[in-house]
Structure 1
């Protein structure tokens, strides 16, 4: 029996993966901010006879403090983590700053994935074939990182913030994979293609219309999940790999630049040290 941790596991792709793994006999830990959705996940698991293998941890993963609490709770309750699935994302047409002073998209889409991946690395080291499955829009082809304004304090645009999130996650994968053997988990960056999911967010009228159009053209989640499961079941040998709609993606190019990855890692560590000092 594997232990699967899923962010964004109460809707869309994350939800489908969570229930699929429960059906396989695994124990599944879903992280999310909505207790009603969490209860629905647990009730569905109970109806399927899997109540003893289903867990919900309520948390606002846009907050550094909440990620740290969740990491400690998982460490206290579970001996290993076999798979960490990172799906949580929330689109915002209008800029929002968390109570900790961090732009929301950067905090949830990037910083939470950074914290959970590194924070659970020791538990994943105990697993037979550990995998971090980072489901994100790839940064390849997106505009460059706004190094001097990562939080989009000037000229915020929801799509730009989301695309930059993809770039940041690509660089996160590079840094994580360069652990010198300290981290056994295979890091997989994956863009599954347009999927007819909830696409959680706060949208202005023009964006809402565009999202509706995207959903109509997208594939159902039932088509998206099997290729993801194939990678989880037989992870690549390489420390880092990337896939776009099932096709392997070359890791050569600016999206996976080691220097940029190291720069982002330094910025992130400094930010997190400041949050520790402020707490």
Structure 2
């Protein structure tokens, strides 16, 4: 039975220790880093809410978890849709009044610009808006946990300029450029969360995994597909970045916002993490979401 507010382990008879199950929500949980973290958590005795779009891969995760000490539930959802994020948040809050950690991994590369059915550019919708909606939406459940944390797996600290009049890459779309731009927005998302809720218990971590063999899911033109294949040949396996992510989940940093390149701290005090820019982005985003 779940025991909210306890640590990872509690003492039982004769000094032995028993694992206390915690609940973690993972997006992009059917591929790459997300799947590797989901397996690790269920294997050690925790409960995982695994969110993804691929039903077959979700079923495979469920079968694996059948033999694990922990448990896993699969939620199939297209998180590029604002409406789907809101539905997922409602479902999780109904089923899990306490959430110990949120691991954000979902991302989908597109060589050509694509808009969702709700009219948002796909990177902006999935890589940015979804992470905003889930972090804010699940905050009530996170705040009931003992040491709650959001681990946002992205690419913090790069200096891609922000075109404030074209956040959704309508003028000159480039898949890599759009991904880097949205990554900058994710940095500011972390800043905004910490500025708004830093007095609360939830810690926010921006995590850069380095060159890792993730799911590499997306729609690639031939040149990008060839580059991806070369990257796969030299990238470390997704399992290699599981230990540092688990350390962050088990022992969140004390500061409201931190960033890491695997185990190496990244400063969040330079211009890339401007509170003024974060507030500006939040205001723009609030206006966009008000229309959905």
User: TM (normalized to structure 2)?
Assistant: 0.91
Q: Summarize the Cα distance change of 1:180–1:77 in structure 2 as closer, same or farther, 3 Å threshold.
A: closer
SS of aligned partner of 1:214: helix
| Structure 1 consecutive aligned stretches of length 4 or more whose deviation exceeds 3 Å | 47-50, 180-183
Select which of 69, 81, 100 maps to 2:118: 100
Q: CA deviation at 1:44?
A: 1.2
Q: CA deviation at 1:179?
A: 2.2
Instruction: Measure the CA separation in 2 of the matches of 1:16 and 1:143.
Output: 29
Instruction: Measure the CA separation in 2 of the matches of 1:232 and 1:80.
Output: 15
Select which of 59, 68, 83 maps to 2:86: 68
1:205 matches 2:222: yes
**Residue in 1 aligned with 2:272?**
255
Q: Gapped runs of 5+ residues in structure 1?
A: none
Q: CA deviation at 1:142?
A: 3.2
Instruction: Measure the CA separation in 1 of the matches of 2:268 and 2:34.
Output: 25
1:126 matches 2:159: no
SS of aligned partner of 1:189: strand
Instruction: Measure the CA separation in 1 of the matches of 2:225 and 2:205.
Output: 30
Instruction: Measure the CA separation in 1 of the matches of 2:152 and 2:253.
Output: 14
Q: Gapped runs of 5+ residues in structure 2?
A: 1-20
Per-residue CA deviation, residues 136-158 of structure 1 (Å, 9 max, x unaligned), is 022x3332111111111111000
**Residue in 2 aligned with 1:266?**
283
Q: Which is worse superposed, 108-117 or 33-42?
A: 33-42
Q: CA deviation at 1:222?
A: 2.2
Q: CA deviation at 1:163?
A: 0.3
Confirm or deny: 8 A CA contact 1:195 1:218 kept in the other structure. yes
Instruction: Measure the CA separation in 2 of the matches of 1:262 and 1:217.
Output: 39
SS of aligned partner of 1:101: coil
SS of aligned partner of 1:178: helix
**Residue in 2 aligned with 1:47?**
67
1:184 matches 2:201: yes
Instruction: Measure the CA separation in 1 of the matches of 2:227 and 2:244.
Output: 27
**Residue in 2 aligned with 1:145?**
162
1:170 matches 2:190: no
Q: CA deviation at 1:49?
A: 5.7
RMSD: 1.2
Aligned residue-pair number: 272
Larger Rg: 2
1:29 matches 2:46: no
**Residue in 2 aligned with 1:240?**
257
Confirm or deny: 8 A CA contact 1:173 1:187 kept in the other structure. yes
Q: CA deviation at 1:181?
A: 4.9
Q: CA deviation at 1:182?
A: 5.8
Instruction: Measure the CA separation in 2 of the matches of 1:249 and 1:60.
Output: 31
